[in-house]
Amino acid sequence: MADETETAQATKEEMEAVREAVKESPARAPQAKAASFPNLEQKVVNPPSSPGNISLLLDVPLKVSVQLGNTKMLIKDLLRLGPGSVLELPKVAGDPMDICIGEKLIARGDIVVVNEMFGVRITDIISPTERIETLKQ
């Protein structure tokens, strides 16, 4: 019990010493300084078209698809489909197929058969101007 009283007394004395020290040294208001940031401008070492920049993307996989055609159907017509049903498409036999990366048209081509597998022979690459026009849509 005597130890607890001595500890409490020491704590009171320490608190009084802290209070006196605070009274003697008035608190200073914080000084505001202008923020400084490093220059974020980057110097282009290689122009965007240089092979050094594109090499970072050469092993990125992209989904390439060939679209035979598409159509819209009512749900009731869709539910009637079964084995042997025929979907009519707006393409005429012999029309070039659309070649897309992601969902963006990049080329057109003809269907070919190679070693009993389907393929596409590219006949037309969509020009950058045409691709930009499709981005606006």
Residue 77: give its domain's CATH number. 2.30.330.10
Domain assignment present for residue 12? The answer is no
Domain assignment present for residue 46? The answer is no
Task: Read off the pTM.
Answer: 0.52
Number of domains within the chain: 1
Domain assignment present for residue 22? The answer is no
Domain assignment present for residue 13? The answer is no
Q: Quick check: 87 and 75 in contact, CB under 8 A?
A: no
Q: DSSP label at 80?
A: T
What average pLDDT does the structure give for the chain?
80
Domain assignment present for residue 110? The answer is yes
Residue 8 has pLDDT above 90, yes or no: no
Domain assignment present for residue 72? The answer is yes
Domain assignment present for residue 29? The answer is no
Domain assignment present for residue 117? The answer is yes
Q: What is the pLDDT of residue 20?
A: 72
Domain span at 110 = 62-82+93-135
C-beta neighbour count of 108 within 10 angstroms? 18
Q: What is the pLDDT of residue 61?
A: 93
C-beta neighbour count of 91 within 10 angstroms? 15
